[in-house]
């Protein structure tokens, strides 16, 4: 694994889950020094394609990256501060949610985003 790719992977793993690309750029640069934004994006895409990272894309927000892959968990996103947390499958075994009609697809994953207000935003409604 190349030094830039390792720096990107370490940045995602060490900075906590659900980081956007800009946070990963900053963290990877702290580890490696000079590193282009494009190199970080290229490495994020390669790590996602290899199944090492997972990209989640909440509507209206930048893509987020995490190291938790392969278990088909879901996410809860705060509408105000955008805190994103993992939640386990809603019901049953993967893919967790069975559609009423699969249209012949062999379904292997269900991506679910729950939205709401985190406890902090519930207690600070003016922010």
Question: What per-residue confidence (pLDDT) applies to 116?
Answer: 94
Q: What percent of the chain has pLDDT over 70?
A: 92
Average pLDDT over residues 78-94: 81
State the span(s) of the chain assigned CATH 1.10.10.10: 3-66
Average pLDDT over residues 66-95: 83
State the span(s) of the chain assigned CATH 3.30.1490: 74-123
The CATH number of the structural domain formed by 3-66 is 1.10.10.10
CATH architecture of 74-123: 2-Layer Sandwich (3.30)
Chain position carrying tokens 């946070």: 23
Q: How many Cβ atoms sit within 10 Å of the Cβ of residue 104?
A: 5
Q: Quick one: CA dihedral 55, 49, 12, 24, positive or negative?
A: negative
Average pLDDT over residues 89-111: 73
């Amino acid at each position: 694994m190349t030094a830039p790719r390792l720096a990107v992977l370490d940045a995602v793993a060490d900075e906590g889950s659900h980081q956007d690309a800009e946070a990963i750029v900053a963290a990877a640069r702290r580890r490696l020094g000079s590193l282009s934004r494009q190199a970080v994006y290229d490495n994020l895409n390669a790590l996602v394609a290899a199944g090492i990272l997972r990209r989640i894309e909440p509507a209206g927000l930048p893509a987020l990256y995490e190291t938790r892959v392969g278990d088909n968990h879901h996410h809860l996103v705060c509408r105000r501060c955008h805190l994103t947390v993992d939640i386990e499958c809603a019901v049953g075994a993967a893919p967790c949610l069975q559609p009423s009609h699969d249209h012949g697809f062999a379904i292997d994953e269900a991506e679910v985003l729950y939205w709401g207000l985190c406890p902090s935003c519930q207690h600070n409604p003016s922010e």
